[in-house]
Amino acid sequence: MPIGLYIHVPFCLQKCRYCDFSSYPLEQGQVEHYLRGLRQEMAYYKEILTPEQKQTATIFVGGGTPTCLVSGQLTGILEQVNRFFTIIPGAEITTEANPGTVTPDSLRELRAAGFNRLSLGVQSTHRELLRLLGRIHDFEQARQAVQDARAAGFENINLDLIFGLPTQTVAHWRQSVSDILDLAPEHLSCYSLQLEEGTPLSGAVDRGQLAACPEETELAMYHIVMEMLSAAGYRHYEISNFALPGCQCRHNLLYWHNREYLGLGPAAHSHLNGVRWGNVEEIHQYVSLLHRGQRPAEEIQTLSRREQMEETVFLGLRLIEGVSLDAFQQHFGAALTEAFNKQIRDLTEKGLVELAAGHLKLTGKGLPLANQVFAEFV
């Protein structure tokens, strides 16, 4: 079965105030350094992977902000992938983009080079909230970016939105969703804000300078977006993801189906042959390990059969359709309902999960409490 390829571009023009992903300030010397490392990492895997494992059905370039590279550098990455891996026809090739770092020209170049899906970090439609998040763009730029992407030939566009922000009201959110719908994206990711320790935003909340959004408000916002998007013809297919029919993100589905993927670049994560690992975060360390012919991986973890089962369940439960009992049985040669008999019984009793149509899935009540459910499976 073909694998997915994730490529991490660890650069940003400016760090957003809520983000704790790995990224560095954009600096050309560093970028070139990184690109050399990335090429070496691909070359490394070319040697050790079987031809079968080099069959790539999805490519996802994420960050950081991939589009803060000049477009030649970004399309260059795709050319390298083409050299070292086999991109199968019809592959989904996504790049993340910040509305403040794209132009009609750059978008045309990306489309021409083979990118066929664009994921734009819109995050909010409100000036104040965008400023609060530390975003470098306004909504006007996001609107323009979508228009330019359409003009460049992108027929599959995702927009990222965040809700549950400090000071955000339910009315704000309703307006935002409505404004976003006007842009008619094929796909929408709506995340509730996670206050990550050590980020400026969570610091401000801890110091009492900002009030975290009350749980009740967050829940109301979640319900609003579910209603509005379903009325507009989108299918809610994962806790935070909505798509027009046929436009689900195939790359992200690999994660949720607990399939195999290879992550390239600093801090990228992989799952191959029952082993999970993450690359080192620091660019110099990443490059110098590769330079010495070593794999830049750390935290290499071989999963036991039980752990694989657990992960299959808690990842699969993120999908609205749930975990397929047949697929589980086929993969593990054991019945899901037997392997997790007690958990399923307890959680069913609490009304958080249900067995229906050959799947184990979250109920409407379980959906906003998903973590409480997942924790039972680890």
Which stretches of the chain bind other proteins, using CB under 8 A?
A: 6, 8, 21, 62, 191-194, 215-216, 218-219, 222, 239-240, 252, 255-256, 261, 263, 268-271, 276, 278, 299, 301, 311, 314-315, 318, 350, 367-372, 374-378
Give 139 or 256: the residue with its C-beta nearer to other proteins: 256
Give 143 or 174: the residue with its C-beta nearer to other proteins: 174
Q: How far is the CB of 139 from other proteins (least distance, A)?
A: 21
Q: Which residues face 6 on adjacent strands?
A: 60, 263
In SS3 terms, the chain reads as: CCEEEEEEECEECCCCCCCCCCCEECCHHHHHHHHHHHHHHHHHHHHHCCCHHHEEEEEEEEECCHHHCCHHHHHHHHHHHHHHCEEEEEEEEEEEECHHHCCHHHHHHHHHHCCCEEEEEEECCCHHHHHHHCCCCCHHHHHHHHHHHHHHCCCCEEEEEEECCCCCCHHHHHHHHHHHHHCCCCEEEEEECCCCCCCHHHHHHHCCCCCCCCHHHHHHHHHHHHHHHHHCCCEEEECCEEECCCCCCHHHHHHHCCCCEEEECCCCEEEECCEEEEECCCHHHHHHHHHCCCCCEEEEEECCHHHHHHHHHHHHCCECCCEEHHHHHHHHCCCHHHHCHHHHHHHHHCCCEEEECCEEEECCCCHHHHHHHHHCCC
Q: How far is the CB of 60 from other proteins (least distance, A)?
A: 8
Give 92 or 218: the residue with its C-beta nearer to other proteins: 218
Give 108 or 223: the residue with its C-beta nearer to other proteins: 223
Give 109 or 311: the residue with its C-beta nearer to other proteins: 311
Q: How far is the CB of 58 from other proteins (least distance, A)?
A: 11
**Alpha-carbon distance 115 to 78, whole Å?**
8
Give 108 or 212: the residue with its C-beta nearer to other proteins: 212
Q: How far is the CB of 369 from other proteins (least distance, A)?
A: 5
The angle, 0 to 180 degrees and rounded to 10, between the axes of the packed helices 104-113 and 139-152 is 40
Give 5 or 152: the residue with its C-beta nearer to other proteins: 5
Give 121 or 152: the residue with its C-beta nearer to other proteins: 121
Q: How far is the CB of 112 from other proteins (least distance, A)?
A: 26
**Alpha-carbon distance 83 to 18, whole Å?**
36
Q: How far is the CB of 104 from other proteins (least distance, A)?
A: 28
Q: How far is the CB of 144 from other proteins (least distance, A)?
A: 26
Q: How far is the CB of 147 from other proteins (least distance, A)?
A: 28
Residue with tokens 């070319």: 46
* Tokens matching residue 75: 């399309």
Give 23 or 141: the residue with its C-beta nearer to other proteins: 23
